[in-house]
Amino acid sequence: MDANITEITDQNFDTTVLQSSQPVLVDFWAPWCGPCKAIGPTIDTLAADYDGQMTFGKCNVDDNPGIPGKFGIRSVPTVLVFRDGQIFEQMTGLVNRGKLENAIKNAIAGGASSAPFVVQ
């Protein structure tokens, strides 16, 4: 895993994501998922570009079923951006860099979510 990416597990999710002092992007993925493999390098690049401004993590849904179940994730890849312990953005599927970067910039700047009606 990339040096700028934290492995997110069922055990470390609360401390790493919900209690983080900065926004956190979590990529929910699976090793058998083609689109997950395609979006991975983009997330790795964004993690390097925004190092120190935002935490980036990846959660293997096969190894950690608790967190995806808690957030109703039924499809991978799904990217959740958290700010202040709450879901700020949710994107499912092979999302382009521009959409990911807009969510990152909004979360860092304290802007409004483009998907404000996320239900937990």
* Catalytic residue (choose from 26, 33, 67, 81): 33
The answer to whether the CB of 77 falls within 8 A of the CB of 27 is yes
Q: CB–CB of 34/76 below 8 Å? A: no
**59 is known as an active-site residue:** no
Strands (E), 8-120: 24-29, 55-60, 78-83, 86-92
Task: Say if residues 16 and 9 touch (Cβ distance below 8 Å).
Answer: no
Asked about 33 being catalytic, the answer comes back as yes
Out of 8, 17, 24, 36, the active site residue is: 36
Cα 10 off chain centre by: 14
**Residue positions annotated with a catalytic role:** 33, 36
